[in-house]
Structure 1
Amino acid sequence: MSGRRRLSSRILISLLVILTITSAVGFGLLAYAQRAELDRQAEQRALAIAETTAADPQIRQSMQDGGSGDTVQQIASRIETLSHASYVVVIDLHGIRHSHPHPELVGKQVSEPIEVRNGNPWVGIDHGSTGRSANAKAPLYGLDGALVGEVSVGIPERDIVQGFTSELTAFALYIGVALAVGVGASYLLARSLKRSTFGLELHEIAGLLQDREAMLHGIREGVIAFDPAGRVSVINDEARRLLGLGPALGETLEDLLPEGRLRRALSGELLSSSGSDELHVLTDSHCLAVNRMPVVLQGRELGAVVTVRDRTEIVGLLRELDSVRGLTDALRAQQHEFANRMHTLAGLLELGEQEQALEYAVELAGAERGLVAGIRERIDNSLMVGLIVAKTTVAAERGVRLVLEPESCLGADPGHLRRLLTVVGNLLDNAVEAASGSSPAEVRLLLRESPDEIEVRVADSGPGVPAGCAEAIFEDGWSTSPDRGTARRGLGLALVHRLVTRHGGTIEVSEGPGAVFRVRLPLPDSDPAPLGAVFTAAPPVLASGPVPGHKPGQEPELALTQGGARW
């Protein structure tokens, strides 16, 4: 319990000291001001007594006659007694006293000058023979109106001190009440602050802050925390790097990111509350896994924490593994086909049909050479030829025929080669998968190079793009097929779209049965980029209806028109 009270006690003591000091200073200033006010009031009271005395007809007559006799002393003593003044002294213009509380001083000359010769009263503090007092002097006129002297009256300091003491007692009571209220408020504030810090002491809070900073900026995971209002309260360097953000503290996702899948994923719209990494999101240069978890502490909702993991290399490796598996399946199919051919040749030789066996072997060799030669007649680039031959084998193993359009033509060193390989590979993979299972199962490829652009067109005989999904199909994560367990679905078309639009190209897709994708990349290629780079998405250019040259429902052309090789 003492540990939990430490912070609140420190806050309470600090506020109590502050309140005490400020109350003492305020009390002193108030006392000083009140004493000055009481002195002023005493001076005005003394002036009123002095003017009353100076207006007495007997004193005026006596002073006009020279002030002889005891009349002035008797009247002044009576007024002094009635008014509780410390003294009432009547002085002529020569400075001679005609009345005084001490009779032995009557007839003696005062040491101070006459202050009222100009006819105006005077007030001040006097330190005379009767002690400190508030003093006032009023001009004294004879009955004929001539100035004959002055009346000096003093109010004793004890009267001022008594009034000052009574008022200070009230002031002290008020300040004590205010101080007590301040102490109570300080105690409540300390308890409230203690609850706000969840019972942590100052050194514990400082240690947590240091640990948090070291952890946040030391891990290789992006971390973003949002407060209950949706503003960014914590963000580490890795999150800024992965998401391309600058100073983001205090801002909302709407201020930081444009509308799109990434913003919806970070806000939790695309994620469930299970806490698992459910989504890969593409940015300009990364493929990310996003996780969002709400934060609740002691029943209070404090916002949410989003973690972002870079999965670019892993996704690339998984896609490469998936491609290798496809090639392995194709090689296995070729092995089976090769074994069948060898068994046929062996059987013919065993039967002594040497000539027929020779013809069979020559026919097989010619067909294989014809396949490659037929592609070579239209495609001069060896990398692209190898890609098409490999995709042809994979497609055949899945029961899909791949047709290279007769008007295809591509030079030996075309522009955008690396990007072109990525685009063609991804589009053919999607097309073969879509056409698999249809009847007839067919994919048609057009590669055409002109001085201004390179055109890629891939058409398949599959179910096509659902109505209204022509835009969504290019978003990362969009797919009509389940994940295969290795490569994440819905990334291929997003990669192609970013790749094409980043380099000034366009990509079109038709809706309805038999999807047709058309890609145009402008020439010359002024910005070569590494194969597999990921680029910023832009709105797709949509096309409706079939692309010229492809007729859905028509019996597919299953062979190259030159070279005689069939796929």
Structure 2
Amino acid sequence: MARRPGRRRKLSARILVSQLLILAITSAIGFVLFAYAQRDALDHEYQSRALAIAQTAATDPQIVRAMADGAGGDVVQTVAGRIEHASGATYVVVIDLHRIRHSHPQPILIGKRVEEPLAVLDGRTYTGMDNGATGRSANAKVPLRDPAGTVIGEVSVGIAEKQAVGRLLGELPTFALFAAIALAVGAAASYLLARRLKRSTFGLELEEIAGLLQDREAMLHGIKEGVIAFDPQGRISVVNGEARRLLGLGTALGSRLDEVLPEGRLRRALDGTLEGVDITVLTDGHCLAVNHMPVVLHGRKLGAVVTVRDRTELVGLLRELDSVRGLTDALRAQQHEFANRMHTLAGLLELGDHEAALEYAVELGQAEPALAEGVRERIANPLMIGLIVAKTAVAAERGVRVVLTEDSRLGEQPGHLRRLLTIAGNLLDNAVEAVGSGGQVRLALVESPYEILLRVSDDGPGIPPGAAESIFEDGWSTSPDRGTARRGLGLALVHRLVQRHGGTITVSEGPGAVFTVVLPLPDDDPAPLGAVFTVVPNVLEGVR
């Protein structure tokens, strides 16, 4: 995929640059906020220092005595200057109740009145930032009391702001070093993260990932195959609309197969337990071809992709075609048999043996009606009669004899008629194929007020021991695929059809298989006589 001009940097480089920019901005903002916070902390610290100095000056005996006597003078200025020098304060100003200064770092202001009123007349101390004659400073004001405890003045102490600023500037390089270390650690982590993300995306760039996503969405919802993808933990990560339709999946994303599908052949085909290509699976409404493909990239197992194709109509048509071919072969064999009979009859006539020719013609004319009459005596429904006669004729061409049992009784309009035709046709076809030439198949159809019993038995090799349960699974067969016919579907279809309508089907093991089907009466879901059996959901009722 071609990349746009101006966007040629790799994904890892973009991630690294973006994260470095974010780290730099956040570090700068953090540095500034920290500096402001530290400045505020230093202001409070210097205000506390000023308060302590002011309290010391306010309790100095010389200052208290001089101010109590009303003398003030050089004593207060001298003591205040000594305290100011010893403590590092910018100024120590002593003010009487008349707001007259008795000390000040600028001698010219001694004896002058202050503009603002005294703040300590209530007897409490005050701190804050003050803009005075010496500039901006951290200030504290403390009441000056005489020995009796009466407020006689105020002591104001200030520490120049430049001292706090100087200290802050001295600390900023340390803060900057910490921020630089944090930025370097973040840059290294960003670089490692970018490399890991690059490996996770298999070297694809952002435009390529976006293009793949668009292509995937178009493909998933544009194809007529069901597609399901699983992550390495076996959870469904992708499922398109066709897969939801065919498998009856609702909200399946993030779920495991055992959470959305019951145990069975379908689930085993989807999770890869069943191995093979185009695994045939029957559901209640579809005949599906399932393919499970593990996904491995650069040696890493990324999960699996499963494709599901609907072969319902195709399988039905193929099996119809196979049935037509069987009938064609039978008709071809009958044509040869008819030609042989005509040659025999012509030979008798040519020899002049007219009596033998007449007897032979009468015998031939009565054989087919006799078969139909024998079936009609026990079976009243014309559709079932036609099926039995047709299957008997086809079996006869293969050297197999089909016998309707003496106890068979079926009314003119029996329940489950369409299902009986499907079940009987499948079981008779399987039995005829199983016994081979020279074998015999017995069919029993018994209708009672409560149920219809259908039994097909043969004298073939039968069902292998232990296979009675698995014989009805999709794909089970003792014979290889023949031509267009897909083996292993007939019995599975019969089994699903019987169970779907509340019936039972059993089979005996060992030589001579016996299939017994019981369908309950009354028929709660009768199929219309004009139903077409090659359309879904008739995969269960018309495909043989």
**TM-score (normalised: structure 2):** 0.94
Q: Secondary structure at the match of 1:512?
A: coil
Taking the aligned partners of 2:420 and 2:89, their CA distance within structure 1 comes to 114
Give the residue type in structure 2 aligned to 1:341: R
Please list the CA deviations of residues 170-196 of structure 1 after superposition, one character each: whole Å capped at 9, or x if unmatched: 212211221122122222222222222
Partner of 1:465: 463
Match of 1:488 among 483, 486, 489: 486
Mapping 1:38-77, distance limit 5 Å: 38-77=42-81
Give the residue type in structure 1 aligned to 2:494: V
Taking the aligned partners of 1:141 and 1:454, their CA distance within structure 2 comes to 121
Partner of 1:453: 451
Partner of 1:133: 137
Please list the CA deviations of residues 339-365 of structure 1 after superposition, one character each: whole Å capped at 9, or x if unmatched: 221121111111111111011101111
In the TM superposition, what is the alpha-carbon distance from 1:258 to its structure 2 partner? 0.5
In the TM superposition, what is the alpha-carbon distance from 1:424 to its structure 2 partner? 0.4
Is residue 2:230 matched to residue 1:226? yes
Taking the aligned partners of 1:304 and 1:125, their CA distance within structure 2 comes to 72
Partner of 1:515: 513
Is residue 2:260 matched to residue 1:262? no
8 Å CA contact 1:87–1:153 kept in 2: the answer is yes
Mapping 1:281-300, distance limit 5 Å: 281-300=281-300
Partner of 1:475: 473
CA separation of 1:471/1:4 partners in 2, compared to 1, >3 Å: closer, same or farther?
farther
Taking the aligned partners of 2:463 and 2:417, their CA distance within structure 1 comes to 28
8 Å CA contact 1:502–1:536 kept in 2: the answer is no
Match of 1:505 among 503, 518, 523: 503
Is residue 2:350 matched to residue 1:350? yes
Runs of 4+ in 1 over 4 A off after TM superposition: 1-4, 532-537
Give the residue type in structure 2 aligned to 1:384: M
CA separation of 1:54/1:83 partners in 2, compared to 1, >3 Å: closer, same or farther?
same
Mapping 1:278-427, distance limit 5 Å: 279-427=279-427
In the TM superposition, what is the alpha-carbon distance from 1:389 to its structure 2 partner? 1.4
8 Å CA contact 2:287–2:539 kept in 1: the answer is no
Taking the aligned partners of 2:422 and 2:539, their CA distance within structure 1 comes to 16
Please list the CA deviations of residues 38-74 of structure 1 after superposition, one character each: whole Å capped at 9, or x if unmatched: 0111011011111111121111111111134311111
Q: Secondary structure at the match of 1:346?
A: helix
8 Å CA contact 2:123–2:143 kept in 1: the answer is yes
Taking the aligned partners of 1:456 and 1:511, their CA distance within structure 2 comes to 18
Taking the aligned partners of 2:145 and 2:25, their CA distance within structure 1 comes to 54
Further displaced range: 257-266 or 177-186? 177-186
Percent identity between matched residues is 71
8 Å CA contact 2:286–2:539 kept in 1: the answer is no
Mapping 1:521-536, distance limit 5 Å: 521-529=519-527, 530=531, 531=533
Taking the aligned partners of 1:150 and 1:467, their CA distance within structure 2 comes to 115
Q: Secondary structure at the match of 1:16?
A: helix
8 Å CA contact 1:4–1:199 kept in 2: the answer is no
Is residue 2:14 matched to residue 1:10? yes
8 Å CA contact 1:460–1:515 kept in 2: the answer is yes
Taking the aligned partners of 2:419 and 2:493, their CA distance within structure 1 comes to 10
CA separation of 1:336/1:25 partners in 2, compared to 1, >3 Å: closer, same or farther?
same
Q: Secondary structure at the match of 1:483?
A: coil
How many residues get paired? 531
In the TM superposition, what is the alpha-carbon distance from 1:126 to its structure 2 partner? 0.8
Taking the aligned partners of 2:446 and 2:518, their CA distance within structure 1 comes to 10
8 Å CA contact 1:499–1:534 kept in 2: the answer is no
Taking the aligned partners of 2:291 and 2:411, their CA distance within structure 1 comes to 46
In the TM superposition, what is the alpha-carbon distance from 1:4 to its structure 2 partner? 6.9
Taking the aligned partners of 1:38 and 1:517, their CA distance within structure 2 comes to 99
Partner of 1:113: 117
Give the residue type in structure 2 aligned to 1:172: A
Further displaced range: 211-220 or 185-194? 185-194
8 Å CA contact 2:281–2:288 kept in 1: the answer is yes
CA separation of 1:270/1:239 partners in 2, compared to 1, >3 Å: closer, same or farther?
same
Taking the aligned partners of 2:148 and 2:216, their CA distance within structure 1 comes to 96
Is residue 2:268 matched to residue 1:251? no
8 Å CA contact 1:502–1:535 kept in 2: the answer is no
In the TM superposition, what is the alpha-carbon distance from 1:263 to its structure 2 partner? 0.6
CA separation of 1:145/1:410 partners in 2, compared to 1, >3 Å: closer, same or farther?
closer
Please list the CA deviations of residues 75-130 of structure 1 after superposition, one character each: whole Å capped at 9, or x if unmatched: 11121122221111111122111111111111111122222223222211110000
Q: Secondary structure at the match of 1:22?
A: helix
Partner of 1:238: 242
Partner of 2:179: 175
Taking the aligned partners of 2:154 and 2:283, their CA distance within structure 1 comes to 99
Taking the aligned partners of 1:405 and 1:57, their CA distance within structure 2 comes to 138
Give the residue type in structure 1 aligned to 2:194: A
Partner of 2:189: 185
Taking the aligned partners of 1:436 and 1:26, their CA distance within structure 2 comes to 91
Give the residue type in structure 2 aligned to 1:290: V
8 Å CA contact 1:140–1:151 kept in 2: the answer is yes
In the TM superposition, what is the alpha-carbon distance from 1:146 to its structure 2 partner? 3.4
Taking the aligned partners of 1:316 and 1:455, their CA distance within structure 2 comes to 26
Q: Secondary structure at the match of 1:89?
A: strand
Give the residue type in structure 2 aligned to 1:263: R
Partner of 1:555: none
8 Å CA contact 2:232–2:302 kept in 1: the answer is yes
Mapping 1:72-87, distance limit 5 Å: 72-87=76-91
Please list the CA deviations of residues 207-241 of structure 1 after superposition, one character each: whole Å capped at 9, or x if unmatched: 11111111111111111111111111111111111
In the TM superposition, what is the alpha-carbon distance from 1:422 to its structure 2 partner? 0.6
Task: List gaps (5 residues or longer) in structure 1.
Answer: 538-567
